[in-house]
């Protein structure tokens, strides 16, 4: 994510090292902006650019889902012990009251309650897994991304990178200055 001036043409360069455009670069020279990557090449004349926008944004959608997942994880972990205790208690009560004539039904109920108890004991593990996913989503959402947007005649081009990227802000400023010079 380095912006390097090239003194021969007064140009600037921004290398994408993160995000979906990783491995490509933007190069600004006197009259054009060139986006070059492994299998792409796009040349945009500065005269065609009507607006330049740069913004750092956090992903509110990911943050929202992270909060929901963390609450679900907490609820699963909190419910595990009481549910397992209830199932064990019911299984014990059925076993103690079992008469010879209802022994088969009692065995089925005991097995059902023991199964519920085992499932309830797995809830903390499930809660931890969901919590970990929530923490990852929260980190990605808070990390955010910086996006350079160029508005052309009928289309916008977006150039995103992960996190708050000061160099992309500087590159956008260089584009703005070059546009101002060209239009004056």
| Interval 145-155: pLDDT, tens | 999 999 998 89
pTM: 0.65
- 84 versus 172: the higher-pLDDT residue is 172
16 SS3 class? coil
Give residues with Cβ within 8 angstroms of 51, minimum separation 6. Answer: 149, 150, 151
What does the mean pLDDT of the chain come to? 85
Question: Residue 182 corresponds to which tokens in the numbers above?
Answer: 């060209």
Q: CB–CB of 44/177 below 8 Å?
A: no
Q: Which two structure tokens, joined as six digits, stand for 175?
A: 């584009």
Tens of pLDDT, residues 81-139: 888 888 778 777 766 554 544 666 777 777 888 888 888 889 999 999 999 999 999 99
Check residue 9 and give its pLDDT. Answer: 44
Average pLDDT over residues 6-16: 69
Instruction: Give yes or no for residue 2 having a pLDDT over 80.
Output: no
Say if residue 7's pLDDT is above 80.
no
Q: How far is CA 84 from CA 4, 12, 61, 90, 94, in A?
A: 62, 64, 34, 10, 15
12 vs 40, 41, 136, CA distance in Å?
19, 17, 35
Buried b (16+ CB within 10 A) or exposed e, 6-29: eeeeebbbbbbbebebeebbbbbb
| C-alpha–C-alpha distance, residues 133 and 24, integer Å | 30
Q: Is the pLDDT of residue 171 over 50?
A: yes
pLDDT of 106 reads 74
Among 167, 162, 170, CA closest to 21: 162
111, 95 contact by CB (below 8 A): no
**Interhelix angle for 60-97 vs 103-143, to 10°?**
160
Q: How far apart are CA 92 and CA 41, in angstroms?
A: 72
**Which CATH number applies to 3-58+146-183: 3.90.580.10, 2.30.29.30, 3.30.1120.10, 3.30.70.120?**
2.30.29.30
């Amino acid at each position: 994510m380095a912006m390097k001036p090239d003194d021969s043409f007064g140009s600037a360069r921004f290398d994408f090292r993160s995000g979906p455009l990783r491995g490509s670069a933007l190069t600004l020279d006197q009259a054009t902006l060139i986006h070059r990557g492994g299998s792409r090449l796009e040349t945009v004349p500065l005269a065609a650019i009507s607006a330049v926008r740069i913004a750092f944004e956090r992903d509110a959608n990911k943050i929202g889902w992270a909060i929901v997942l963390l609450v679900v994880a907490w609820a699963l972990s909190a419910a595990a012990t009481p549910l397992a205790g209830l199932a064990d208690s019911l299984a014990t009560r059925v076993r103690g009251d079992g008469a010879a004539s209802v022994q088969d039904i009692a065995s089925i109920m005991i097995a059902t309650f023991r199964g519920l108890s085992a499932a309830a004991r797995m809830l903390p593990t499930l809660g931890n897994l969901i919590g970990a996913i929530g923490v990852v989503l929260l980190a990605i959402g808070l990390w955010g991304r910086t996006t350079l947007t160029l508005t052309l005649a009928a289309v916008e081009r977006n150039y995103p990178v992960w996190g708050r990227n000061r160099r992309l802000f500087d590159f956008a400023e260089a584009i703005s200055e070059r546009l101002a010079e060209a239009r004056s």
